[in-house]
Amino acid sequence: MDEEYTNFIHEFIDEDLKEGHADHVHTRFPPEPNGYLHIGSAKAIWINYSTAQKYGGLFNLRYDDTNPVREETEYVKSIEEDLRWLGAVPTGGIFYGSDYFDKCYEFAVGLIKEGKAYVCDLTQDEMREYRGTLTEPGKESPYRNRSIEENLDLFERMKNGEFSDGSKTLRAKIDMSSPNMNLRDPAIYRILHAVHHRQGDKWCIYPLYDYAHPIQDALEGITHSLCSLEFENHRPLYEWVVNNINFEHKPRQIEFARINITHTVLSKRYLRELCEKGKVDGWDDPRMPTLSGLRRRGYTPSSIMEFVKRAGVAKTDSIADIGLLEYCVRTDLGKIAQRKLAVLEPVKLTITNYPEGQVEYFDLPNNPEDENAGTRKVAFTGELYIERDDFALDPPPKFHRLKPDGEVRLMGAYIVKYSEVRLDEDGNVSEILCTADLETRNGNPVDGRKIKGTIHWVSASNSVDAEVRVYDHLFTKENVGDIEEGENYMDYLNPDSLKSYKNCKLEQSLADSNKLDKFQFVRLGYFCRDNKSDDMIFNRTVSLKETWTKQNNQ
């Protein structure tokens, strides 16, 4: 963590420490285990974890598992895996909101005894009608003035399962005329007969988030509850719960703006829908903005953390350019990824004057950006594969690759000159014949002629067959959140977001690669070995071409 880095949250904390409202810092990340974490979650993780780290404090992982309907153990496991992958170790411990259910119930009984909560029989629609509007106060529930004894009896019977789902709620008795709608007697408990992933069927009443969350923060000793901006209007309710349960320890809630990204959706509901409708290959599809998808695609934890840091911490909503995310991973991989030769759309190149059956080895750099990375030996033979678009029978102007009467450098090897071409029955190029200047073994022609083009290659007899998947943005629209009435975000799914190359030829050394190993395929981009298949499948993380810094430096 950069000790010099600061933002408005740190300024609030500095003020609290200076004035004695806190003598240490303890933060938490409270995800609901109803889906996989995404890059928006990474911002919340980074803010909470790095803040605790800066002040030498503690950081908790607490699962917000107060709603049993969509929560699953699969999501619980994936959340911790993602958190640890990012390097955000929960130094304060791992907790579950559901483990506080007994305390939540005990505190609710206390509120009833103090006349601060009551059991209400209004339906959801009726509660909404009674709630009022932003310009008109709400109406008090006809059940608001039940006696303490009746409320205690009804609440216990709710707990014992005597009533059906939705037939009653427990509501905090605050102020139906408050200008803050969240203080108009909010529901704090609802009836829900459902099996909980952790508590089983012990409970049939569940506390709502606005009630449970401040209790959990107070019990865990959280000093600063850092959350997204939509909870700003909920802060008075957060403070009401803490104050009226009479906690001695009082956490402070501070809100920040969520992150939005171009060509991306970060709504968990939308992401789940994409999975359920088969638009993507599950939560970890490399096109998804989930952390598991980004990991499978080859993104590094440091590039994600750098992205959310660069995107900034603010109080106003904004949309970050996905090009910034790509810039961060491109910069990171440029330093660490070994270079390899790969041909995605191969066409055979035969060197007619090269000795038949001969194999020689050229030393190619593993990573020019790392002077300690060394070199590797790559086999060269008389039959090679090159990219189909590195040859043109009828080339456009300024085409500096292989063409009739032209010469190119085979990367790290010889200069070759076109001789003739062989076509298949459909008129497509099936083989290119050429001759090599065998005096130019990784050197310049002795006669001083200039060679403008360099292309990559793979030996035909010393190669690995593989599938390579090239990904593009999942959505064609830049701001997917800004859609017209009557449109659906799925209307903007990119039909070309995945292109699979089935017959690729890779240099032999890639046969020894492991899942999630990262490479730069020279001239093509950065790629990662897929982690869901034992086959030789590589996913493109990002292209080599970079436009974000150019656009943002103009």
- Closest to 528 measured CA to CA, from 323, 294, 372, 322: 294
* Residue 239 phi, psi dihedral angles, 5° rounding: -70, -35
Residues of the chain with confidence (pLDDT) below 50: 1, 554
Q: Quick one: pLDDT at residue 546?
A: 74
Residue listed under structure tokens 């090897």: 413
Q: From edge to edge, which strands make up the β-sheet containing 26-29?
A: 26-29, 58-63, 93-96
Catalytic residue chosen out of the listed positions 70, 131, 258, 477:
258
Report CA torsion sign: 377, 380, 385, 388. Answer: positive
DSSP H helical ranges for 160-267: 209-220, 235-244
CATH topology agreement for domains 8-256 and 261-338+466-552: no
4 is catalytic: no
Task: Could you list the beta-strand ranges (E) of 101-250.
Answer: 117-120, 169-172, 187-191, 205-207, 224-228
Q: What residue spans define the domains of the chain?
A: 8-256, 261-338+466-552, 342-456
Q: How many other C-beta atoms lie within 10 A of the C-beta of residue 68?
A: 22
Confidence at residue 449, expressed as pLDDT on a 0 to 100 scale: 87
CATH class of 261-338+466-552: mainly beta
pLDDT of 2: 57
Q: Is 32 a catalytic residue?
A: yes
The pLDDT of residue 554: 46
268 labelled catalytic = yes
**CATH second-level architecture of 8-256?**
3-Layer(aba) Sandwich (3.40)
Q: Of the residues 190, 252, 268, 505, which is catalytic? A: 268
Quote the CA–CA distance of 434 and 432 in Å, as a whole number. Answer: 7
Q: Is 392 exposed, middle or buried (0-12, 13-18, 19+ CB in 10 A)?
A: middle
Give yes or no for a contact between 225 and 28, defined as CB atoms under 8 angstroms apart. yes
User: Between 101-113 and 209-220, two packed helices, what is the crossing angle to 10 degrees?
Assistant: 110
Which CATH architecture group holds 342-456?
A: Beta Barrel (2.40)
Q: HEC string of 52-71?
A: HHHCCCEEEEEECCCCCCCC
Contact 108, 100 (CB under 8 A): no
Reported pTM: 0.93
Task: Please report the pLDDT score of residue 486 as a whole number.
Answer: 86
